[in-house]
Structure 1
């Protein structure tokens, strides 16, 4: 039997196995130590039969309806639409990049990546959010937060490119000075924008980074780790 627990620190609600009854442990979200109640300490509320299905009035009609959690399920049509959209974006970027549309055009690069990042952020949230959330982000709230998240990711991506161009050399240890702080900041942006776990925010930013790297190559801008060859000041030979 599962035991219902509410964290006194962050007010997160979750259930634990009855084998942890009477023990204490850290909250998985904020790490506050929680005392798990014993089995005999649990409060069990026995609702009247008339309210088990939402409550009935004098006439016998239901006056209240139970709250049902709405889950979004990915149908084959939705999956095919997503895959098709990804292929269209990739092929279009590849064709435009082949003719040099994105080369030396910072604003076009930023707008193109932003158009892709907003729906990608919303879609990744659906996979990474806590499935126990009773009120997941939906509709306008989801798209507003996806846009905010995309804006943060684009700023980090611009900063990452600038750091690579100015600080990263052929020595591998220089990457260790750039990648960890950028990914930590990206995880924090995802965590704040969608109110998901920090680890989920890290995966969310990693998903964006993968998209950005692939589209950068498709746009004809090369791989992010391909460093430019420095020009020699004098002719050789």
Structure 2
């Protein structure tokens, strides 16, 4: 029989024969003296007793909880692709129809509002914590609508800063200050509405910005 020993100085673990029980000797690693415990002093860890329901043979009848996985259905994937294609096509034709005339700010704002909820839902599906129970159905769309509304408001805030304070001229120097502030606000919005962690919330808002900026480019509008 062997005795399990842990050196109190270097925490090295090793085994010695029971004939050395109770004796003092040097640690094989750090060479400091250690006391070999008696064989009856070893700690034995027993598995916890299963107190749940059991069948006639004494086997537990309880089953472990299984986390429900949400998989996108083929119909849902096709629908999302169709919405994306229709949105891109509508944006393209809108930009061509307006010609040299700028697109109405009200129309741009309406587009930002309409795009918010579906982008928020799609981003939530990618960035949510998969260890937690997800939002579904009505509660998810309600939270996504609020989140998308805040995202659209942030575009309105940017438009106000651009037109009211910067006279329509936005330089990269301005974006160094405005961009992080908007990303921080968007991250807080996703954190509060969809319960994403803050970093994922910032990425979530970044996805919305990326998509809306791409649509602005397709429509012939300035990216910022």
| TM-score after normalising by structure 2 | 0.67
> Which protein has the larger Cα radius of gyration, Structure 1 or Structure 2?
2
Residues in 1 aligned to 2:49 and 2:70: alpha-carbon distance in whole angstroms: 31
Give the structure 1 partner of residue 39 of structure 2: none
Give the structure 2 partner of residue 185 of structure 1: 185
Unaligned runs of 5+ in 2: 1-43
Give the structure 1 partner of residue 21 of structure 2: none
Aligned-residue offset at 1:47: 3.7
Give the structure 1 partner of residue 142 of structure 2: 144
Tell me if 1:202 matches 2:206: no
Aligned-residue offset at 1:169: 5.2
Residues in 2 aligned to 1:122 and 1:170: alpha-carbon distance in whole angstroms: 31
Aligned-residue offset at 1:120: 1.1
Whether the 8 Å contact between 1:125 and 1:194 is mirrored in structure 2 is yes
Residues in 2 aligned to 1:154 and 1:170: alpha-carbon distance in whole angstroms: 19
- Farther off after superposition, 85-94 or 164-173: 164-173
- Partner-residue secondary structure (3-state), 1:48: coil
Aligned-residue offset at 1:152: 0.6
| TM-score after normalising by structure 1 | 0.63
Superposition pairs for residues 1-237 of structure 1, below 5 Å? Answer: 44=48, 46-50=50-54, 52-54=60-62, 68-100=66-98, 103-133=102-132, 135-165=133-163, 166-167=165-166, 172-224=172-224
Q: How many residues align?
A: 173
Aligned-residue offset at 1:154: 0.6
Aligned-residue offset at 1:195: 0.7
Aligned-residue offset at 1:118: 0.7
